[in-house]
Structures are given as structure tokens and as C-alpha cells.
Amino acid sequence: MFGWFTSKKKTYDQTWINDYLNQTFKHPSKTVIRDVTFVVLDCETSGLQSTDEIITIGAIKCTPKELFINEVLDQKYPEIDVGKSAEIHGELSSKSEATISDLVQELIQYVNNHIIVGHNIAFDIHMINNLLQDTYQFKLKNRVLDTAQLMMRLDPVFFERSIGGKSMLHLDDLCDNFSIEIQNRHTAVGDAYLTGQLFQRLISRLRGRGIDSLGQLLK
């Protein structure tokens, strides 16, 4: 799938892999949600099949009260034919000069052992795991939260109505529902920023229903 490593293999310093894998990813269930830093992540890909490739990854760290806009991850992956993809991902006018090994290391060190948040995040995680498996033979160990699933917990009627209408809880629909101004849509960093705002609103509503700890949130 990823043709970046079909040439002669190189040996890289993999200390950072051990540093990542040897961490604990079990967060104490009694931890208060407001004290947790999350990583909100989004991938833009060349398509929606597992054989497609990652074009960009964007991520932003946040708490339920703050988005850390000075700690944004903004990655563009090399060796991508940007022709068709540029029609959607308007920022892609050139290929990245960064190496895959450097980008993967940067990504892993950024997400660290934080809980990853995303909107309909399963496909993004699948694509990242494909990349990690192909390059370094490991996968993400982070806990993951999906804002679409959090919306189901908050408002099952809205969720069922959306699924029935085949909107699949699009990010645009939920941004409208929560009065979030849509900017830089269909860019990885832009979608991560929108999802971060959505996540904060969902957490605020869920906390209003008595969900205050990570154990309650992650169940």
C-alpha cells in the first residue's frame, strides 16, 4: 500500500518507539475530565479505501476548556499525487520534503500517551496504523474517543435521526447544531480545530449530566 519503502531499507534510531510503547495507556478511572489533556486528530487521505494514502495529518491538544493553538501538529506526507486530491484539499499545491521516518516520529511523540479524539475517527486510526505497521511494525496504543459516538450518548434521538437520514453525523451538521463557525474545512488542521471545539461542547453537555470522570467518559 505505502510505496515509500520499496527501496533499500535504512536503519533508523528507534529509541522513540520504545519510549512510546513502554508507557502506560491506562488512565486512572477517577481522573477528573477537566484535568485531562486530549489530542484531537484528523487525517485527509487520497480516498476512503484502505488502499488509499495519507495526504495530511493535523492535530491539536486541548482540555475541556482550552484549545492549545500554539501546539498544533500540521503534517504533509510525501510521494502523493496531489492532482485529484487538490480539488478537495486546497492547501496541497506541493509535495512535502520531509521524510516519512521524521513525520512518523513527530506524530508519535506528539500523541504520546494522550487520549486521541476525532470525528468518525475509526478510519483515520486505521490509516495511521497501516502506516505505522508498514514502516515500524507497531500500532497505536492510545485510547480513542469518537465525537460522533459522544453525540449518540448525548442525544440518541438526534443520532438515530441522522443515521436514518444517511447524514452519518457529518462534522458540518454538528458544527451547525452547536453554533461552531466552519472555517478551513477539509484541511486536516482545520477539521481537527473544528472537532476540538465540538468535543469541548459535548464534554460540557455530558458533564452537565453527571459524567465527570474519565472512567465514566471512556466506558
Mean pLDDT of 161-184: 79
Collapsed DSSP state (helix, strand, coil) of residue 78: coil
Out of 1.10.287.130, 3.30.420.10, 3.40.50.1000, 3.40.640.10, which CATH number does the structure's domain 30-212 have?
Answer: 3.30.420.10
Instruction: Report d(CA 65, CA 150) in Å as an integer.
Output: 17
Q: Are 147 and 153 in contact (CB under 8 A)?
A: no
* Between 93 and 197, the higher pLDDT residue: 197
pLDDT at 124: 97
DSSP code for 21: H
Sheet holding 115-118, edge to edge: 67-76, 54-62, 38-45, 115-118, 144-146
C-alpha cell, 186: 477539509
Q: Residue 6 is placed in which grid cell?
A: 520499496
Domain boundaries, the chain: 30-212
pLDDT for residue 160 is more than 50 = yes
pTM: 0.86
